[in-house]
């Protein structure tokens, strides 16, 4: 037996609302003549007049692969001027693939088992960090759970959820930001499936390092005018530890321990967009998307519960918790082009918006790949 390597005591927002005359031409954002956006189909442009602007904007998009937040709202609005925005579903498939990387490395992960239930997966390399905590973890060499390397479990002395939570909290604090960056002091429940027994709670930032299933709520807030739909889109604060400056839903958040999806959505609506309960209570649950993404030692197995909320035209979001830098109201057609042609959106937001496009008829059965795209929205273990 060995002991832990350390001991821890005690266990400006800016809103912009597009007026009816500005929607479609974005004249306040573009110096050149307006371009009307009227459908999801491919839009043709005068190549000579916009080639330079398109090239410049594509250069910006290329730089985003290295620095995701290095774009402005002006860059976002430039996208509608690009000459070769695709009208097929290929750009959507690409975004789904970005959330489902690394399947070929699945065998590098060992099942994490609690009370005979697989609750997560831990990378072989990450076990080197956990080997310092032999009073917490033990590795059993068998193939009971389908891995030739055996499985990881907790020491039998850790019998209760409370004891396990405290032990894992100590582990995470000892490993610190160098091993598990972005620690938030927010606990996620550890279960084998949604609504099942909670075996313990784990720091949110550590969830992918232990491969536990994580759940969240994502809400599309939209406005309808003259038969056309527009989405409120947030640009994350540059101070956010994760995905700073990227585009996001009007409201989204992880599902912490001890709160229901509906309660969490109401809370997030107030904190992120200043939406009062009298409005947020009208949000409609519309299903879920899931994905499994492997990146180094991280194995994200996420399920996002999706909501749609039709907002009054007069409503203007106002961030309350400092996590959103600004909001814009964008036509669905522009949002579609952003998803197809850039990496401006936080990756998992793309999946939720693609689901919205299915529900509201912007993606049709006549589109080649319709059913495959629909099925791919639940590429992860949606349980």
- What percentage of the chain exceeds 90 in pLDDT? 74
Average pLDDT over residues 57-84: 65
Phi, psi of 119 (to 5 degrees): -110, -10
Token output for 191: 């279960």
Contact 244, 237 (CB under 8 A): yes
Of 113, 105, 103, 348, residue with least CA distance to 210: 113
Express each pLDDT in 12-61 by its tens digit: 333 343 433 333 333 333 322 222 222 333 222 233 322 333 333 334 33
Who contacts 278 (Cβ-Cβ below 8 Å, separation ≥6)?
none
- What percentage of the chain exceeds 70 in pLDDT? 81
Of 229, 194, 230, residue with least CA distance to 212: 194
For position 38, what pLDDT does the model report? 27
- Beta-strand pair 298-310/247-249: unpaired
């Amino acid at each position: 037996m060995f002991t832990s390597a350390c001991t821890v005591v005690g266990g400006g927002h800016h809103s912009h609302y597009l007026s009816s005359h500005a929607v479609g031409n974005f004249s306040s954002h573009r110096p050149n003549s307006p371009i009307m956006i009227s459908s999801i189909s491919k839009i043709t442009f005068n190549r000579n007049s916009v080639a330079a602007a398109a090239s410049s904007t594509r250069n910006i998009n290329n730089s985003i692969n290295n620095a995701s937040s290095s774009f402005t709202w002006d860059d976002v609005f430039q996208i509608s001027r690009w000459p070769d925005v695709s009208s097929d579903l290929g750009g959507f498939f690409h975004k789904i693939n970005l959330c489902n990387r690394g399947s070929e490395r699945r065998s590098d992960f060992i099942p994490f088992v609690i009370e005979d239930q697989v609750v997560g997966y831990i990378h072989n390399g990450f076990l080197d960090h956990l080997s310092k905590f032999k009073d917490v973890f033990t590795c059993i060499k068998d193939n009971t759970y389908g891995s030739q390397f055996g499985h990881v479990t907790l020491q039998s002395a850790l019998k209760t959820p409370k004891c396990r939570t405290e032990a894992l909290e100590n582990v995470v604090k000892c490993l610190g930001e160098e091993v598990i960056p972005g620690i938030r002091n927010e606990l996620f429940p550890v279960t084998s499936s949604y609504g099942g027994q909670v075996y313990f709670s784990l720091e949110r930032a550590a969830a992918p390092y232990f491969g536990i299933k994580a759940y969240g709520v994502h809400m599309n807030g939209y406005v309808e005018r003259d038969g056309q739909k527009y989405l409120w889109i947030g640009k994350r604060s540059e101070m956010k530890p994760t995905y700073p400056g990227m585009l996001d839903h009007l409201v989204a958040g992880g599902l912490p321990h001890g709160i229901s999806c509906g309660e969490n959505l109401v809370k997030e609506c107030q904190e992120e967009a200043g939406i009062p309960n009298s409005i947020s209570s009208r949000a409609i649950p519309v299903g879920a998307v899931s994905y499994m993404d492997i990146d180094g030692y991280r194995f994200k197995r996420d399920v996002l519960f999706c909501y749609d909320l039709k907002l009054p035209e007069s409503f203007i979001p106002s961030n309350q918790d400092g996590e959103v830098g600004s909001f814009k109201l964008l036509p669905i057609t522009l949002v579609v082009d952003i998803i197809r042609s850039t990496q401006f959106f936080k990756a998992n937001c793309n999946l939720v918006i693609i689901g919205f496009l299915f529900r509201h008829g912007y993606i049709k059965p006549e589109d080649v790949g319709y059913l495959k795209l629909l099925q791919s929205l639940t590429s992860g273990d949606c349980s």
